[in-house]
Structure formats: C-alpha cells, structure tokens
Amino acid sequence: MAEIANLNGVSIDPDTITGFNKNYLIPVTGSDGTILPNFMAQVWAIYKASLATVGSTWRTGAGIPSNALGIDNDFYLRSNGEVYQRILGVYVLQTNLLGPQGVAGSGSTIHASQAGTGITVAPRSRINFVSGATVADNAGSDRIDITVQSASISRSARTSNTILDTADRGNLIDITSGTFTQTITSAATLTSGWFCYIRNGGTGDITIDPNGAETIDGLSSFVMYPSEVRLIQCDGVGFNSIVLCPFFRTFTSSGTFTKPPGYSKFGVRAWSGGSSGAKSAGAGGARGGFGGGCGDFILLASSVGATETVTIGAGGAAVTGAAGGNPGGNTTLGSLLTVYGGVNAAIGGSIIGIDTAAAGGVGAIGYEAAASGASVSAMSSVWGGAASNSTPSVASGNSIYGGAAGGSVTGAGSALAAGTSLFGGSGGAANDGLSATAGVAPGGGGGATRTGATSGAGARGEVRIWGMV
C-alpha cells in the first residue's frame, strides 16, 4: 500500500498506527476559538473511506456492460473475449483475450473409415459433425455436414459356413454349433485393415481357411476349438489373428489334436480307463473294479507337434463268467504323456507305471494307485485309481482326481458301496443276483456281481486340453 506524507514531509503507513505521532490526530484551536480537525486526520479519514469503495469484482455477459453496474475498478468479461474496466463511472475497453485469427489452411481430405471413401473439404471450410445426418455436398459453401458413426459391434450367429466378406467388417461371428470349415474372402478384396471377431461358442471344431494359397498366422488353416475367441485381421496379403479367449477341448474318444497358433503352453488333464468288476458265480465274494489314474500336465507349445494323436484308454470289458475284472486301457497324447490303466484288475491306473501301487492299507497320496486295505480311507487315492477290498468286506475306495473303485459283493451276497470321485468318475454299483453297473467316466471302476449275468464294465478314459496364452 502506498504511503502518505504529512505537511512536514514525514511519511506514514496508512495501514498501521506504527510511526504515527499522536499530534497528527489532535484537533487544532483557531485564533477565534474555533476547534478545527488536524489536517492529517482529515487526509487519513478520506483515504480510509476511499479504500472501502475500491472495486475488484469480475462480471460476465454477452453485451456491452451498463455503466450503472458495480463500482469503479470492477471488471467485465464479454463472451467475445473483450475485457472492460469501470473507471470514473464508465466501463472502458481494456483488451481482448482472443488472439488474432490464424492464416487460412489449404484444405484437407477426411476419410470415411466405414465406407472406405474420402470427402474433400474446400479451403476455409467448417465441418459440422451432425449425428444421424447424411453427407451433403458443400457445393462451394463454407459448411459441410457429415455423419458421425458411433462404434458398435454387430453379432452374426451361424451354424454353418458363410464366407466372410466386406460386410462382416468389425462384426462378431458367433458360431453356436456345428463342425465345419469357415472360409474367408481374398485378402485383396477385403483390403488391409479389415477385421472381425470369431467365437466358437459350440462344441464342434471350426477350421479357419483363408482364400486359395493365402495364409493366416503363417498357416494354410488351423482349428478353432470350443470356447475360443479370436480377432482376425487382414493386411491386404494374408491374415493374422490374436487369441482373446483360449479354447477348452475335451476328447472322449481317440482323435487328433491340431496345435492352434497363438499359445505359449497347453494344459492337459488325462484319465486312463477303469477296470471292470469281478464275477464269482456264487463261489465266494466278488470285488469291484479299480479306478483309472489321472494326471495333470503343462506342455510348452514348442514341444507339441503340429498334430498329436490322442488315444483314449477303454474301460475294462465286463465279465460274463466266473473271473476277475479286466484292466482299463492306457490314455496317451502322442509320445508326450501316458496315463496307465493298470496291469490287472487288482491294480488301478496311475501315471507312474502299469503295476505301481501304494503300500497296502495306507492309501495313495501321490500319483500312485491305491491298494487293497481294511478301510475306505486305506483304499482311497488322490491322483491314482482307488481300490476295492480283496476279501471283500468293506466299501470301496474314493478318489479326488482319479477314478473311484466299483462296489464289491460279500460272500454272503451283500452288495457293498462303490467309491466316489470329486473330479474323476465314480465306481459302478455292485449287485448280487443281477448284472452290476458300469463305472462312471472318466475312469470309474465297474461294479461286481456274484451270480448276475455280467459284472459292470470299467469306464473309458478322457483327455482335456486347454490353451494358455
């Protein structure tokens, strides 16, 4: 704040009392006896009064401000950028916040991505984006209206092949069922930048096959297994794809696994076949079939061939005459892995070997098969096949991942309970005078019978494969 000098030339600070001589504020008595206020006291009073009326308010509006608005030193901003200040009761233009207009451009071309054509805009033209309007020829005017298209994905459901063409650009091709070959129009026709999404939402295998000798991910074709979703993109010469959701494929019968591109690893869970139950023909009891083994594997994509043969182990065949059960078959994925079905009906399946079982009476806590024991827990397993009692006198063993054992029949003709499995197949039920029940896939052991027509067959194995990006 500026200082004020008294009549003697001494500066004082008007905002504080510091430095004031009290005599500055003492009234003065004239020669005629009239009492007059000290001159500096008058200056002080006038200055303080002026401070109370200094303006500092900003106002806005579209038009020129009225002089009756506010007080001196108030400011007013017009919508066109002009700034006014009120001085001695009048609003005076001070500046404009908008800079000078730039040099006119030479025009440009705007490309319509959907239509694939361009719209040329004349120099100094103004483009007004109007949603839902059609493109209008500006015919030399300074305005052109174009349609702004919002991003959207259309779904096209299908159960058989319809060749992918330009109209499918940006769409979701949703295959809901069927096993077929999905063809694609030539890359030159679709042009670089064309793309679509493909989902195999069914249970079949879909072969993606580009036009002629064109390739996709460097391959002439590949198989999209169930649950897989891919982005397919054209580069004008061929096609590329990106895995958005990995596949999950279950083999319940032998076949061929064709390695799809875009994965770093593959997960595999496999079961061998369970063995069938025994038939005693009335000569003592009959024991239930042992369960098939189970194994989990992670395979590097680089270790998997372009195609791998999948062999599903069969369940042990049912017995019609007095005999022990038949063992289940081995399950393999090429030469990459094997889950063994057991060497006979008395040893269940495992990934360790065809005749490898845990010590009797302790259960199988690893990958080995269980052995006969005196209790359910002693014949149960984690990954290997569960066992039944050799006497038989107690219910059969359970499993977490492997196949459970089938139910047995005592020498007195009492059917004992079959085992159950959390993630594999449960054992088949036993029956004294009737045919026993087959085991449940994958890998369940068959039930036993004494005098029924047949024992229960063992359940088949299974292979489940899933992609890991």
Quick one: pLDDT at residue 130?
45
Residue 229 pLDDT > 60: yes
SS3 track for 137-170: CCCCCCEEEECCCCCCCCEEEECCCCCECHHHCC
Contact 256, 249 (CB under 8 A): no
CA–CA dist 69, 65 (Å, integer): 7
User: Quick one: tokens of 176?
Assistant: 């809901």
Give residue 38's pLDDT band: very low, low, confident or very high (50, 70, 90). low
Q: Cα–Cα distances in Å, from 348 out to 352, 358, 392, 400, 438? A: 11, 10, 17, 14, 16
CA–CA dist 374, 360 (Å, integer): 9
Q: Cα–Cα distances in Å, from 208 out to 3, 184, 225, 239? A: 89, 8, 11, 11
Quick one: pLDDT at residue 144?
55
Of the two residues 453 and 352, the one the predictor is more confident about is 453
Give residue 20's pLDDT band: very low, low, confident or very high (50, 70, 90). very low
Contact 437, 318 (CB under 8 A): no
CA–CA dist 313, 200 (Å, integer): 28
Quick one: pLDDT at residue 218?
97
Quick one: pLDDT at residue 100?
75
Contact 202, 178 (CB under 8 A): yes
**DSSP track, 209-234:** E-STT--BTTBS-EEE-TT-EEEEEE
CA–CA dist 136, 147 (Å, integer): 9
- Short-list 372, 368, 448, CA closest to 416: 448
CA–CA dist 82, 74 (Å, integer): 14
Give residue 133's pLDDT band: very low, low, confident or very high (50, 70, 90). very low
Quick one: pLDDT at residue 275?
96
Residue 5 pLDDT > 90: no
Q: Cα–Cα distances in Å, from 235 out to 194, 230, 251, 423? A: 8, 16, 35, 45
Query: To which H or E segment does residue 250 belong?
Result: strand 248-251
Give the tens place of pLDDT for each residue, 247-290.
999 999 999 999 999 999 999 999 999 999 999 998 899 999 99
CA–CA dist 169, 290 (Å, integer): 55
User: How much is the average pLDDT of 313-336?
Assistant: 96
Quick one: pLDDT at residue 385?
92
Quick one: pLDDT at residue 266?
98
Residue 323 pLDDT > 70: yes
CA–CA dist 402, 253 (Å, integer): 18
- Short-list 296, 274, 285, CA closest to 463: 296
Q: What does the mean pLDDT of the chain come to?
A: 84
Q: Which of 112-116, 276-280, 302-306, 385-389 has the least mean pLDDT? A: 112-116
Domain boundaries, the chain: 4-51, 58-96, 155-245, 249-469
Quote the percentage of the chain above a pLDDT of 70. Answer: 75
Residue 466 pLDDT > 80: yes
User: How much is the average pLDDT of 398-424?
Assistant: 97
Q: Which of 40-54, 304-318, 414-428 has the least mean pLDDT? A: 40-54
Of the two residues 416 and 98, the one the predictor is more confident about is 416
Quick one: pLDDT at residue 344?
67
Q: Cα–Cα distances in Å, from 123 out to 104, 126, 143? A: 7, 9, 11
Give the tens place of pLDDT for each residue, 156-182.
999 999 999 999 999 999 999 999 999
Quote the percentage of the chain above a pLDDT of 90. Answer: 65
Quick one: pLDDT at residue 331?
97
Main-chain phi, psi angles of 20, to 5 degrees? -80, 140
CA–CA dist 407, 376 (Å, integer): 11
* Helix/strand/coil for 111: strand
Quick one: pLDDT at residue 51?
52
Residue 361 pLDDT > 70: no
Give the tens place of pLDDT for each residue, 23-36.
555 555 555 665 55
Give residue 131's pLDDT band: very low, low, confident or very high (50, 70, 90). very low
Quick one: pLDDT at residue 116?
45
Residue 101 pLDDT > 90: no
Contact 334, 307 (CB under 8 A): no
Q: Which residues contact 305 (CB under 8 A, 6 or more apart)?
A: 259, 334
